[in-house]
Amino acid sequence: MHTSAHIGVTGLAVMGRNLARNLARHGYAVAIHNRTPQRTRDLATGCANEGTFVPVESAKEMVAALERPRRLIVMVQAGQATDDVIAEYTPLLEAGDVIVDGGNAHFADTRRREAALRQAGIHFLGAGISGGEEGALNGPSIMPGGSSHAYDLLAPVLNDIAATTPEGTPAVAHLGPDGAGHFVKMVHNGIEYADMQLIAEAYHLIRHTTGYEPQRIAEIFREWNRGRLNSYLVEITAEVLAHRDADTGLPFIDVIADTAEQKGTGRWTVQTALDLGVPVSGIAEAVFARSTSGHATLRAAGSALPGPAPTILGEDDAARFIGQVEQALYASKVIAYAQGIHQIQAASRTYAWNVDLAAVAAVWRAGCIIRASFLDRVRESYTARPDLPSLLADPGFACEIGTAQLPWRLVVSRATRDGVPVPAFAAALTHYDTLRTPRLPAALTQAQRDYFGAHTYRRNDRPGVYHTRWDSDRSEQPIT
């Protein structure tokens, strides 16, 4: 087969298929391959009017079809399947060619793959792609990590197919070497978990406390989406709540089983945060909330436990409460984004990635699931102060959350009094209070550790590390 394609895509499930169509729509001749040949043929014939597709049936044919340096995008299941595809292509490719993993790979796998392929002279990009099937087709947010040279070979293509930010720039940026891109995408998904859980808690609180039907609550979310909570997730929440089930006529939300599934990126975010020693309590509670929703036996065992009787607010009190929920939701969302960005900061230092946090915020403003209008301000904050230790150290956000803290506390208090679970709201508020508390009870925790395990401690009044002889005269011994 003669060279005829600008770029290749292997793996034509929903995301791979739509990404290939996106490339073709932008004038690229796309070599396409799937382990099921019929899927390849279906795309080539069914979407022929969208551009040029070059169907191939093997890795050897794919490599022969691509112009040099070859650019191949892998869109298969993360894990062993990705390793298998890379192993199949590596002997066929030549020095200077580029493989792009566009799946939700674990960043540690991306680091391993990049290092191995570098030894073979093959460039590797781990590109986080967000936006779902619609984004893949019409413009996703793209978060690539890898060598600068590899990125330069792909940048024109990625710029063409990415979503467009409000000022007209593509929602794509080179975020650093090896696994930086997939790490940022992982944290994006962790924030997504938290954001979705917070929105769900806001809905649940309003419905429980006001007795409003979902269609009426949909109007509240539509109103919020016209203000500072403007975001893709708030927008689609209004659409979901307004929808009625065609078969039963009931609110659509009431016919869906209350079990939220997950594919693992949120869990990875929490596991990695634990490894880095970074607090992402809001994201963790969102992951645990999904886990709890799926434990039917556990929930059935707890269903008979006693709790407070529900109370319904009158119209005036309901309107006031809804305003308080808006404050709590906004403040908690800022906390979730702040925790995720802090995790990226910590990883960037650990792995020497030098991630530009302003660029991260810019990439997240379009195409991705967590796109939100306040990300413009996040970008501005980190542009002005690249070393900002926390989003909460930005005066503008600090002022807003300070204003929101009283209604936020009232919402969490009301939820606790009425027995409505709000794990993400409560975790976000606790994080806020932990950061602003001048002296934490961690001093007692460390003293206990020294007591039972001789783990030592530091003092406030002088340098050094110490241990108290708890089992004898309780004298203090300097260790260093």
Positions marked active-site:
185, 192
β-pair partners for 54: 31
Asked if 62 and 33 count as a contact pair (C-beta separation under 8 A), the reply is: yes
Show the tokens assigned to 299. Answer: 């929930």
Place of tokens 């090896």: 178
Q: What is the spatial distance between Cα 99 and Cα 81, in angstroms, rounded to a whole number?
A: 15
Q: What's 170's DSSP letter?
A: B
Q: What does the alpha-carbon distance between residue 417 and residue 420 come to, in Å, rounded to a whole number?
A: 8
Closest CA to 166 of 365, 448, 420: 365
The rounded distance, in Å, linking the Cα atoms of 43 and 60 is: 20
Structural tokens at position 389:
């230790």
Bridge partners of 145, per DSSP, are 126
What are the residues whose beta carbons fall under 8 Å from the beta carbon of 116, sequence distance 6 or more?
none
> Alpha carbon of 421 to those of 4, 233, 237, 417, 425: distances in Å?
58, 21, 19, 10, 9
- Count the Cβ atoms, other than its own, within 10 Å of residue 426: 19
The three-class DSSP label of residue 231 is: strand
Instruction: Tell me the C-alpha distance between 23 and 186, whole Å.
Output: 24
Q: Which of 190, 188, 209, 220 is nearest to 422 (CA)?
A: 209
| Contact indicator for 94, 67 with CB cutoff of 8 Å | no
Q: Are 198 and 332 in contact (CB under 8 A)?
A: yes
At 101, the amino acid letter reads D
Q: How many CB atoms lie within 10 A of CB 46?
A: 12
Q: Cis link prior to 423 (omega < 30° from 0)?
A: no
Beta bridge partners of 32: 9, 55
Phi/psi region, residue 7 (left: phi>0; alpha: psi -120 to 50; beta: rest), is beta
Could you please report the per-residue DSSP string of 266-318? HHHHHHHHHHHT---HHHHHHHHHHHHHT-HHHHHHHTTS--PPP----HHHH
Q: How far apart are CA 70 and CA 55, in angstroms?
A: 16
Give 447-450 contacts, CB < 8 A, sequence gap 24+. none
Give, for 32, the enclosing helix (H) or strand (E).
Answer: strand 30-33
Decide: residue 81, CB within 10 A, 0-12 exposed, 13-18 middle, 19+ buried.
Answer: middle
